Structure 1
Amino acid sequence: MIESEASVKGRVVAEMLSHFTNDLKIGKKIKSGELRKRMIEPPWIPPAMFNLTGINMDHFTMKLLSLKENPNTDYVILQLHGGGYTGAVRNAYYVFAGLYNELSHGCNVLTPDYRVAPENPYPAALEDALASYRWLLSKGYYGEQIILAGDSAGGGLAMALCMYLRDHNMPVPGGIIAMSPWTDLTASGESYETNYEKDPLFGNTKESLIYQNDYPGEHDRMDPYISPLFGDFRGFPPMLIQVGSIEMLLSDSVSVAAKAREQGVKVRLSVYEGMFHVFQMAYLNIPESKKAWAEAGKFIDVLRTDSRL
């Protein structure tokens, strides 16, 4: 699915973002990820209908968002946050968790604050994602009851985790929702050139975190557990992939969708015209983001319906 035209609100937000990142000194820190790494936020206070439970793991922490009354335990969502493998979890992802809870009709959402580079390069993020998944299995969930969701690096990490699970004969998840997934850390896709001057978040510089990134360390960036694009998708569950048409990472989504389909995976690829990297961060405030979240809800509904057949 390709949207034919961006909304007025969507175009305005994209233009504002471009101005902010390209014309201001702070823009360099945004593109490199430095600003996010230094960001200090107050603790996120959930709305009154939720419990937000902290969970300590061996090397990281997690938070489980659940309804206080009548939680839906048929499925659970494991949310892997973005941030280029260098940024920790932020409050925005707990808002994401609330949206996932709503659109999934009350499912719990587990959000790990996995270790990041440069202090903890590959395979730390994958190890922590795997530990989070195993924790859910230990709580009685079957693989098909777990939906992986991630944006940017988190979307790529979700695919890498699924590959690891399949390769090690562990239960694979019931589905994957990937928003602007970063699947090619070699930056080899066509859109890295064609959208170089269009992308308001990463464009017009080779100093951004998509080029300058410490996560792979000394490992080969083409390793499928680092760049899932170069892996095998056979045996994967259905995937919903959403991406903006002006992203430098557009090819990361288009190429994965094509490869996975060729290997027999059910994939819905939605390209939103005029949209930027992880435009879903606009929540329900622009038509494109609102539609993307509704699409994610429909995808989960289909997963639940198909599992009953």
Structure 2
Amino acid sequence: MKINPALKQYFTESILKASFKYPSRFNLSPSTMRFSIEQLSRIFPQRKDVHIRNLRIAGVRAEEIKPQAHSTQMILHIHGGAFFVGSLNTHRAFLSEVAARTQMQVLHLDYPLAPENPFPEAGDAIYDVYQQLLDQGVLPKDIIISGDSCGANLALALVLRIKEENKQQLPSGLILMSPFLDLTLTGESMRYNQKHDALLSMEALEIGIEHYVPKHLDRSLAPLSPIFGDFEGLPPTLVQIGSKEILLSDAQRFEEKAKAAHVKVIYKLYTGMWHNFQMFSPWFDEAKRSLADIAEFAHHLDRD
């Protein structure tokens, strides 16, 4: 029996609000929140037509997700989770979809989480992974850096750091999904989409920031809030955001600033979608379209 799309979305949003968004408003322990999101992620079906291999790079646990024996491009993905939740388990099913749709190798990192590992430990670990990939002979032109939510923050911060230290090492492209780029929380959508986002709450972001950012640091510093960084010279970038996301303003501001810096940016807005909607591609057309847009962007970079 085919379910009415509007009804399906209503029930999905209701379940997400009850099972994750509302509980995340309370200052639950990181271990409790990690367990909760791990259980929620079990609803996502994993592709069977990809091969997954465990490995360790620069001391960081990772998974290599490959749809075929030989892939010309690598997507280096940094998962979200407000800096203190998320894991290989929570994003495996989604990234198996990305690998299958793009027919590219996806390298998924299990970077160190806060509060056990506050800033700058996650960023330093991810930077070390990138440098080791280059040392192993992977060419920058064959790497696309990708991230969702706070992972998009870490992805953009990584590219800004590479740009400052050695522009020759810049990746071929950057993918920012539902990006959380401003830790000062000044985006207008934080207010007007607060009730509409089915997954993410302001309280969850504030808790994540408290875990991640040492109290003596200014949250507007570019390594923490890369929306305030220098975008000149960034590689081509795909930005994806749902119209109901509380982080909508972060994506809009990125597009405006990137275009002003003459960055090739593709901005995609998906109507009626909530935070990290891409992970729901098995059930929603807009999420399916987001994966098709990722594949199109990645293939265009590969042809170039």
Question: Could you state the TM-score of these two structures normalised by the residue count of structure 1?
Answer: 0.85
Q: Would you say the 8 A contact 1:14–1:275 is kept in 2?
A: no
Gaps of 5+ in 1: 1-6
1:207 aligned onto 2:199: no
- 3-state SS of 1:208 partner: helix
Instruction: Trace 1:211-230 onto structure 2 (pairs within 5 A).
Output: 213=209, 214-217=211-214, 218-230=216-228
Q: Which residue of 1 aligns with 2:83?
A: 85
The structure-2 alpha-carbon separation of the partners of 1:58 and 1:295, relative to structure 1 and needing over 3 Å to count, comes to closer
Residue 17 (structure 2) aligns with: 18
User: 1:197 — aligned with what?
Assistant: 195
- Partners of 1:258 and 1:51 lie apart in 2 by 39
Conserved in 2, the CA contact under 8 Å of 1:30 and 1:36?
A: no
CA-atom RMSD in angstroms? 2.7
Q: Within 5 Å, which residues of 2 pair with 1:226-305?
A: 226-305=224-303
The equivalent of 2:101 in structure 1 is: 103
User: What is the SS of the residue equivalent to 1:207?
Assistant: helix
Q: Secondary structure at the match of 2:273?
A: coil
Contact 1:31–1:207 at 8 Å: present in 2 too? no
Greater shift in the superposed pair: 56-65 or 226-235: 56-65
Distance in 1 (alpha carbons) for counterparts of 2:11 and 2:27: 19
Matching residue of 1:129: 126
The 3 A distance-change label for structure 1 pair 302 and 47 is closer
Alignment check: 8 A CA contact 2:222 2:229 kept: yes
- Normalising by structure 2, we get a TM-score of 0.87
Q: Secondary structure at the match of 2:93?
A: helix
Give the 5 Å matches for 1:68-79. 70-72=69-71, 74-79=72-77
C-alpha contact 1:82 1:155 (8 A) present in aligned 2: yes
Match of 2:160 among 160, 163, 172: 163
Secondary structure at the residue paired with 1:78?
Answer: strand
CA shift for structure 1 position 18? 3.1
- Pairs within 5 Å for 1:17-56: 17-21=16-20, 26=23, 28=25, 35-39=32-36, 49-56=49-56
Cα pair 2:58 2:125 within 8 Å, conserved: no
Number of residue pairs matched?
A: 293
**1:3 is matched with which residue?**
none
* 1:142 aligned onto 2:139: yes
Is the contact between residue 77 and residue 148 of structure 1 (CA under 8 Å) also seen in structure 2?
Answer: yes
Q: Give the direction of change, closer, same or farther, for the CA distance of 1:269–1:47 in structure 2 (3 Å limit).
A: closer
Structure 2 portions without partners, runs of 5+: none
